[in-house]
Amino acid sequence: MGKLTERQAKIRFYDSTATPWYLELDFDGDYSGPIGTPRQEETLILNRGTMDALAHYIKGPDDKLMETVDVSLKVILRDHAQTINLLDWLAAMNDALATQVNSHTLESTKGDTQRDGANANPAFADSNKGTFDIEYLMETGAADLGFKLAEVYVPLAEQVLGESAEEIALPIKGKIYGTITRITAFTAGTDVEA
């Protein structure tokens, strides 16, 4: 049995249109993302300070549940068209007035999921900020396996373009505001580069 390599994994960004636009990206295997969302803290309640049959736990406030989770990946910039589409995608999610990629209008995914299982995640106070979904899929043999990271915000000011003798790359760092679920196939959509 061999080990999995970056050749057996792909990354896609998705927007929130009915048939979502997606941008499939080349990356070098440098991906770091969570496999689950935060949970509320639990507080132990004792019976007047004594451990007995009445002792129990209560859930703490939902602040912990709604905290953002970090994700990072490094995209390899292969050609002019894909680089422009990637930069336009990131800009579209940072400026509500510039929401087009390759002449296609993107929609933010903010509020599309429910971290608490009952209420749509709240909108940003800054209406210029938008989110998109990231899907990471590995070819693992008999079946593919991956994760869908919903409502990811990638602030432009925190992204740093890097150049070396081997590659020009854009390490992307974002915050996940939505749900994190396991997937076995990419979501059906339309390639924004087509």
pLDDT tens across the length of the chain (194 residues): 454 455 568 899 999 999 999 999 877 678 888 999 999 999 999 999 999 999 999 999 998 999 999 999 998 888 899 999 999 999 999 987 778 999 999 999 999 999 999 999 999 999 999 999 999 998 877 788 899 999 999 999 999 988 888 888 899 999 999 999 999 999 999 999 98
pLDDT digits 0-9 by tens, 35-71: 999 999 999 999 999 999 999 999 999 989 999 999 9
Domain that holds residue 90: 6-39+66-191
Residue 172 belongs to some domain of the structure:
yes
pLDDT recorded at residue 169: 86
Neighbours of 13 (CB within 10 A): 27
Residue 50 belongs to some domain of the structure:
no
Residue 1 belongs to some domain of the structure:
no
Residue 61 belongs to some domain of the structure:
no
- CATH number of the domain where residue 81 is located: 2.30.110
pTM score, two decimals?
A: 0.88
pLDDT recorded at residue 7: 53
pLDDT recorded at residue 1: 44
Residue 28 belongs to some domain of the structure:
yes
* Total domains present in the chain: 1
Residue 57 belongs to some domain of the structure:
no
Residue 169 belongs to some domain of the structure:
yes
Residue 88 belongs to some domain of the structure:
yes
